[in-house]
Amino acid sequence: MQYLLKNLHLIDPQEKIDTLADILITDGVIEKIGTRISGNKNIKEIDLEGSFAAPGFIDMHVHFREPGFEYKETIETGIHSAANGGFTAVCPMPNTNPPVENEALVRWLIDQSKQIHDGIVDLYPIAAVTKGREGKELAPMLELAEAGAVGFSDDGSPVENAEVLRRALEYAKMTSRLIIQHAEDLNLSKGGVMNEGFVSTSLGMQPIPAASEESVIARDLKLVEYLMAPYHIAHISTSGSVDLVRNAKSKKLPVTCEVTPHHFTMSDEMVRSFDTNTKMNPPLRSKDDLEALKEGLKDGTIDVIASDHAPHSFDEKQVEFLFAPFGIIGLETAIGLALTELFHKKILTIQQIIEKFSINPRKILNLPKIKIAEGERANITIFNLDIEWIVDIEKFKSKSKNSPFHGKKLKGKPVAVFNNGQLVVSDL
C-alpha cells in the first residue's frame, strides 16, 4: 500500500528539520520526501496543506484498566482513543487487577496491542515496582524488563519505604529502566480531596497539601544523588516540586519529570463547581503553582507532557464530590490543550512542544529514536495549529467520558497519525 501525504510542514527538532514537503510512504516505509511528488491511481493521496508532521507522539502515562476494570477502558478502546488524539505510542500504568507484575502479563499487553488496527499504536508497558503495588516487596524487575517493560511504577500509590525504593532504583539502573514515582505522602494527604489553600478552606473540603508531594520528591532526590540512578516524577503539580527538580538538574542528577495538560490549564478555583471531573490526584493546585508549571515547561525543568489518562464510568463520577474517584481522561484533549495554552499563548515554541510529546519521553524511556527520513519506518503525528474546535466527549473513542473540558473551545488539533503501515484520521 502506498500513501502520498501532500503539502506538509515537516518539523523534527532533533534532526533540525523545518521544511515544506510531501511524503511518499510505501508499505509503511518512507520512500521519498520532496516537493511536488507526483502520484498515480494506485497511490492514496491526501492533501494536508496547513498541517504539521512530527515524529510520532508518545503518551508515557496512561491507564487502560485492562485487565480487571474493562467497564472503564480496554486496551482496544484506549488505543483507538490514543490514535484519535494524535499519539502513535502509549505507556499504560500497572494499576490493573491483577497488577502488571509478571512477565506473562507484560507480554500479553504487548501482543494484544499489536492485534488492534494492525498495531497503529505501539504499547510499551510500565510494570509494578512492588508486588501488589503494596510498597513492601519488589516485583521481579529483571524478568519484567526482559519481557518488555520499559519502566517501573506503583502509580496510584507511592513507593513510601526508602529501603524498598533504594533497591528498586538499583535494579532499574541495572536494567537501563526507569523508576516512575507517584510522589505522595499518604500520611499528609489521607482523606484529602483537593489542594490545600484558600479555596479548600472556603469550601470546607478536606485538603491535600503541596508538602505531600514535595516531601516525597525531596527524600527521593537524596537517594538519586547517592545512587545516580534514573528517576522520573509523574504528574508534577506544585511550584515547590518544580524548584526541587530544577535544583537537582543543576547538580546533573538523572532526574526527569512530566506534567499533565489539566495541571497547566486549570487551578483549584475550578473545584468551586463541584464537578467531579475536577477531582484528580495530584489535585488541581493554585494559580501560582499553575504559572510555575508553565515556567518549568518553558525553561526545560519539566521534560514531558503526559495525559495521565484515567477513565472512570459515568456512574462512578456521578456522585458527591467527596466520594468520586480521582482522575480524568486526557488522550483526546492533550494535544489541543497544549497547542491552545502553550503555543498560542507563547509559552512554548512548536519545536519545544514536539520535544515534550515525542523526543524527550523516548529518550527518557530508552526507546528507539523516531526520524522522518527516507528509508525509515513511518511513525508520524500530524496536527494543525490553527483549526478551532469544540471538545465534544461524544466524539471520543475512549470508553469513558469523564472530561472537564467538554464544550471548551480549543485552537490546534490532531489531524492524523501514521504508524506500522496504517493511517488513522482523527474525527474529533
List 208's β-bridge partners, or say none.
195
Q: Which of 308, 386, 392, 427 is catalytic?
A: 308
Task: Give every CB contact of residue 58 below 8 A, 6+ residues apart in sequence.
Answer: 87, 88, 89, 90, 91, 122, 124, 357, 358, 361, 362, 367
Give the C-alpha distances (Å, rounded to integers) separating 3 from 12, 28, 120, 289: 20, 9, 15, 45
Query: Among this protein's residues, is 308 annotated catalytic?
Result: yes
Backbone region of residue 19 per phi and psi (left: phi > 0; alpha: psi in -120 to 50; beta: other values): beta
Other residues' Cβ atoms within 10 Å of the Cβ of residue 155 = 22
Distance CA 29, CA 14 (A): 20
Give the C-alpha distances (Å, rounded to integers) separating 395 from 25, 84, 107, 391, 400: 29, 10, 31, 8, 11
Cα 192–chain centre separation: 24
Distance CA 287, CA 192 (A): 19
Give the C-alpha distances (Å, rounded to integers) separating 298 from 18, 56, 260, 295: 21, 22, 14, 5
57: helix, strand or coil:
strand
- DSSP letter for 369, please: P
Cα 378–chain centre separation: 21
| Contact criterion met (CB below 8 Å) for 268 and 194 | yes
Helix H or strand E encompassing 106: helix 103-114
Catalytic residue IDs: 308
